Structures are given as structure tokens and as C-alpha cells.
Amino acid sequence: MKMQTCRLSQWFLLFLISFCSCSFTEAQKSNRQLKKKTYVIHMDRTNMPQAFDDHFKWYDSSLKSVSNSAQMLYSYNTVVHGFSTRLTVEEAKLIEKQEGILAVIPEVKYELHTTRTPEFLGLGKSVSFFPASEKVSEVIIGVLDTGVWPELESFNDAGLGPVPASWKGECEVGKNFTSSSCNRKLIGARYFSKGYEAAFGAIDESQESKSPRDDDGHGSHTSTTAAGSAVTGASLFGFAAGTARGMAAEARVATYKVCWLGGCFSSDILAAIDKAVEDGVNVLSLSLGGSSPDYYRDNVAIGAFSAAAQGVFVSCSAGNGGPSSGTLSNVAPWITTVGAGTLDRDFPAYVTLGNGKKITGESLYSGKPLPDSLLPIVYAGNASNSTSGSLCLSSTLNPAKVAGKIVVCDRGGNSRVQKGLVVKEAGGVGMILANTEAYGEEQLADAHLTPTAAVGKKSGDAIKSYISSDANPTATISTGTTRLGVQPSPVVAAFSSRGPNLLTPHILKPDLIAPGVNILAGWTGGAGPTGLDSDKRHVAFNIISGTSMSCPHISGLAALLKAAHPDWSPAAIRSALMTTAYSTYKNGEVIQDVSNGSPSTPFDIGAGHVNPTAALDPGLVYDTTTDDYFAFLCALNYSSLQIKVISKRDFTCNGNKNYKLEDLNYPSFAVPLETPSTRGGEDVAPTTVKYTRTLTNKGAPSTYKVSVTAPKEVKIVVEPESLSFAEANEQKSYTVTFIASPMPSGSESFARLEWSDGKHIVGSPIAFTWT
């Protein structure tokens, strides 16, 4: 009986375990099914069922058919048709099966890509080159970012005439933002938070303003970089003193706040693009990015396609994933993708070691200086019990080992300014921020709260070597002022994301680079220059770095070109900026990559560094029409449905036509080649590929002749070798044949093609890859 009872008990226990396990699994599954997330529902507006006479009612009916509780976050009417909402996975699958649904795309989170620039770009040399201010003031730049601080002097509207008649937008009110926050300079302001709040809950208005007001600083910086009014006496604590002005100082600004403390969400971004195009902007500037899915799954690329088709120039930051290759964001060919370079200006800080060696770094520290006498110095890796102690992460330093000392911290892992605060909280008196291999010799200036010098890898290694070789190492740090005329300049920023374009290897990205390192521009009154909670300083201008800073330079310059040439398409403007860019210094040497000191390649700089004066008169342009983009999508083997998701138009690829990626009329060339599989001793024939391009004359009648600089691995043949244009807007086509020898997989090589009539040079980079 005991044995029987024991067996029954064991059986019952196993039953309970099995039952609980199954119940738990079912509960998990149920929770997953019930958990909602945001989706953007793309609708085929041209195929609305006859039972409906209103698109909004159709959208609402479609939504209610799968969920009684779901509400629309946004309805989209301009660059896309459809709406966004919160659904479970099962509900999303159900609505995707309905007639008239083109695509159901999950929400994606995006991140921000975070005075002397006009002179460096040549904008102050000759007023006669540039369009009259009244023409520039008709151009409207829409900036999608963290909002705006409207009280900045950079938004002063003195001297500006009435708001352009083409403007249809408004000045939305909200916390700390009234209709009077806008003026004839800042002509519009909106905010978009529904997608963000659906993911994170209601905005905490004690932490950030539910309005267009910028509590972060990033949006004020990008918008004033693009089009800030001229402000004399601008500086950050006396650094970079002078007159600060945006690239298109007379252009109008409209701000669209899409980024919040928790990030930027695609449903909000798409709503902002939709509204901005409806409002009448001419240029859209987006200093943000995420992953690069297929174009028909990328809501930013989808919105940008329709914007470009309606004549709006769209520029986006390339990303801050460099110097690693293949790290680009925003690679669609209808978007201008911008990398970052330096100015000829820096902010030196000086390190003196106990062995007498002097090292120059960089810093914007403006507080109480260290004494001239030498102080003890320690490497953070030797003053921490953490395996990542060298990075000076929060609470990793041992106060007993750093108190009263200068601490050497390695870059990476947390923000540069945060490291100084960690040192200060542990009792350290100063910091030397040392680059690792990933950052090379790049030096970025920050408004540190602790006496700091940021140094390149070589200097950092020398300092660490001194510390390890001396029983009582010492040092001190002193800061300088502003140094101009730094050479070589520009150099490619180490952080600037690099090609190749992994999504579409036939399209070379980035398109070009612009200033993005240590840029002075307007700042919020709601945060200190470091953005740290403990930073209570208030500044009207700040100096920060990122492709976020280079993107609005191109946005502003595009506005200048739009003012000078109102009839030019977005593609023509991009072509002018690219084909006139420079890739070498005046001495003929190729622009340097600061991450390794080597010459840059088109995967780093695209066509080169922007040259605004030349871009105003490019001679010829590679114009790209909407039909060209349709052919490009056909060459990608996209279905009619996928093309309609992107374009909102019915388009069927011609089955009898041979669509080729090589024939998209782009101002640069990317040539991906296959490395053939061979058996020992087997000869392999060269690979031959042909590209076609069409040039449009934007100047006087002239004859252009071609020249090519080719690597030894590739023979390049251009036909014809001469193009004669008799009138403006005349078009002529040519072909380029590349005959490439086999190379090992992973090989890269580069070339350049130029058309010139003696006055203009129309240049195109060429990049070859073997895989």
C-alpha cells in the first residue's frame, strides 16, 4: 500500500509539473499574441472598395475588422497613403490579408547621428557667386529632429520679408511653445509623438516638452547649421569666436520634432515627412538613421521617394558607425547621403609629462585650470577592478587609486564627457582621453566638466608607455584657445560611416562629405553643452560632432542651389554637389582618413568634399527622373506590389526589357565584381561590364572631353570620348565599359572619370569590389 501511494504521489507530481509547464507555455504564447506593437499600414488608395466614399472611413473600417480596441495613431495622405496603429502579431497578419493593403511594416526605432564653416567652404569669398537674398528667402528647409529653441538669436527674422506664399504649414502650440514662438524666420513648428508614446507611454512633461520645443539641443544645432541667421560675437566659452551663420542664412526654417528621450520612431518620422511635404518645404534634412532594410520595408526611404518625386531635396546623415566598412544608413538612391569631414580649425589642449615630453590634444574645457606644477597620473586600467576599467565607465574607478590624480581613460563604451565626470566623482582632478585603434588620430573637442585633453592613439600609447615605465609618473594639462589654418584639412572623421553599400552594391554611398567635426551652432536653453544632467551651464551656441552636423550643411547648400536654379530637380542639385566636390588637396594628395592616416577612398568620401561655389555652376548634371527610379526598382526584381508600396503608383516592369542596375543615371559608379572559382593553373578571362549615363547641359554651349584615371586591374573605355552641347538642357548619353582582371575576394580598387570643357570639371568616382 505504501509503495502504491508513493507511486501515485510521484505520478501526481509529474502530472502537476507537466500541467504547469504546459499552462506556462500557453500563457507565454498568449501574452506574445496579445502584446501590441506599432505598425504602419500602407493602403492602395486607388483601389478603395466602392462601399466607401471616404478614405478615412475605409481605413477605420479595415482597422475595426481586426481589432475593436485599436485606434489610429496617424493617417498618412501625402507621401504615403495609409495609417499607423497598435496591433498584435495576429491582428497584423489578418489585416495584411485584406484587399487594398499594400504592406504592413513594423515600427523601427531610429537614433540621432550626433562659425567657421561658411568661410572654410568659400561662402564668404564672393557674394556675386550666390543667389540674391530675396531668392534664398523663398526656400523653406524642413528639419526633422528634436525640435527647436525659438528664442535663439539665430532665428532672428530681421530683414526678412513676408512668409513665402507657398507655405501651408503652421506653428503648433504645446508646453512652453506658443504661436508667437514662430516668426518670419522660423515659419513653422510641429511635433509628432504618437508613435513614441505608444511604445513608451505618455511623455513625462517634467523631463521634456510635449511641443516643438527642443530640450535636447540637437535639433536647434542642425536647424541653425542649415539656415541660422547671422549672429555676431558667437562662441562657446570664447572658443570659435566670430559670426555664426547657417549655410543658407536667409532661408526659412520649419521644424518637425520627431525625436524624444527614448529615440525617434518611424511612424512619427513618416507622419512628419508627410506633413512637411504637404506644408510646402523645398528641402528635408534628417540627421538620424537606423538599419537599412529593403526599400519597400523602409518607411523613411518610402517617404523620401514621394518627397523627391514632388520636387523636395532629401538629405540624410550617413551614420556614425565608422571607421568600420559597410556601416551606412539611408542608402536609397533618391536620398543624398552625407558623411563627415573636419574643418581647418581645432581647439588645442596641452599635456606635459614628467619626462619633459609635450603632447598636443584637444578640449573645450573652460573651468578652473590645473596648477602648472606636475600632478600624479594613472592609467584607468590600473585603477579599477573591472575588466573594462580602462574605459572609465560609471562606478568602475577605485577612488583610493585616482584621488588627486590625472586619469588616462580609453575612448569608447560611454560618452566622452561622461568619462570625465566618472573621474571627477572618483576624486580625480583631470582626464586624458586616449583614442583606441578604432578612432586613430581623430580628436573631437568637448566642453568637459573636468580639465581634459583628448589625444590620438599614438599620443595615448606614448602616455601609457611613460606611465608604465616610471615609478612615479606625473603630468599636467593646460588648455589653449582656437587655432585656425590647421592642415591637412579636411580629413575624414573616423566616426563617419563607410561604404560599400551592402543593400545595393551597385550604388556608391556615401554621396559626399561635408563639415561634421567640432561644429559651432545654436543650442537649447534646456540642457548644458555636454547634455549631462549635472551640467547646469547655459549656452546659446555649442560645438559638437557627427554626421548629424554634416547633413544640415548639405541641406543648407541645397537650398542655395534651389534658390539659384528653381527649376532644378533634387537629383540635379545632388549631381551638382557631387560632380564638383573635391577629393584631393591643392597639392594633389588624396584627402586623408584620420582613423588610420591613409588616403581616403570613395567608400569614405563618396564623390569628395562639397565645394559650394563650384556647385552653383556645374556645367553638366546627371539628372535622375522618377521613371529612372522605377527602372532601378525593376532591376532589383521588385514586384508591382513592392514598387507600389514605395511609389503609390501602379507600375509593372516590362518583361521584354532588360533592366540593369548599372544604368541608373547616378553621378558616381560602383562596380561589384565576382571572384571566379578556379582550379589550379586555370586561366580566367577578364570580366566585362557596361554602364550607361546621360548628361544634361546646365551651362552655355560647349564641348566636353573625357579623361579617366584607372587602376592597373581594370581597363576603362568611354564611348564617345567627346560630347558637344548646343543649348541648355540638351542631353547626351555615353557608355563606360569596364574590363576587369580577376582579383582575390575582398579586393578593392578605385578610379575616376571626368568630363571637362576647360572651364568646368564634371567628376565621378568609381569603386570596384571583388567578392
How many beta carbons lie within 10 A of that of residue 433, not counting itself? 29
Q: For residues 217 and 146, is the Cβ–Cβ distance under 8 A?
A: yes
Q: For residues 391 and 414, is the Cβ–Cβ distance under 8 A?
A: yes
d(CA 194, CA 177) in angstroms, rounded, equals: 18
Stretch (H or E) spanning 306: helix 299-309
Lookup: cell for 454: 583628448
Is 764 catalytic? The answer is no
Count, in order, helices (H) and strands (E) of the chain. 18, 40
For cell 560632432, name the residue. Answer: 545
The DSSP annotation for 605-647 comes to HTT-B--HHHHTS-SEE----HHHHHHHHHHTT--HHHHHHHH
Q: Which of 628, 627, 629, 650 is nearest to 639 (CA)?
A: 650
**CA 328, 334, 340 angle in degrees (round to 5)?**
40
Is 81 catalytic? The answer is no
The active-site residue, picked from 42, 81, 113, 218, is: 218
The active-site residue, picked from 44, 145, 274, 757, is: 145
Stretch (H or E) spanning 337: strand 336-341
The active-site residue, picked from 154, 267, 306, 548, is: 548
Counting beta carbons within 10 angstroms of the beta carbon of residue 313, is it exposed (0 to 12), middle (13 to 18) or buried (19 or more)? buried
DSSP-assigned letter for residue 396:
-
**CA 676, 677, 683 angle in degrees (round to 5)?**
75
Q: Say which amino acid occupies 298.
A: D
Beta bridge partners, 75, equal: 83
Q: For residues 448 and 363, is the Cβ–Cβ distance under 8 A?
A: yes
Can you tell me whether residue 241 is helix, strand or coil? Answer: strand
Is 741 catalytic? The answer is no
Q: Say which amino acid occupies 292.
A: S
Can you tell me whether residue 385 is helix, strand or coil? Answer: coil
How many beta carbons lie within 10 A of that of residue 49, not counting itself? 11
d(CA 753, CA 718) in angstroms, rounded, equals: 9
Q: For residues 332 and 305, is the Cβ–Cβ distance under 8 A?
A: yes
d(CA 284, CA 558) in angstroms, rounded, equals: 10
Counting beta carbons within 10 angstroms of the beta carbon of residue 654, is it exposed (0 to 12), middle (13 to 18) or buried (19 or more)? exposed
- The set of residues, in sequence order, having a beta carbon less than 8 Å from that of 298 and lying 6+ positions away, is 292, 332
Residues labelled as active-site residues: 145, 218, 548
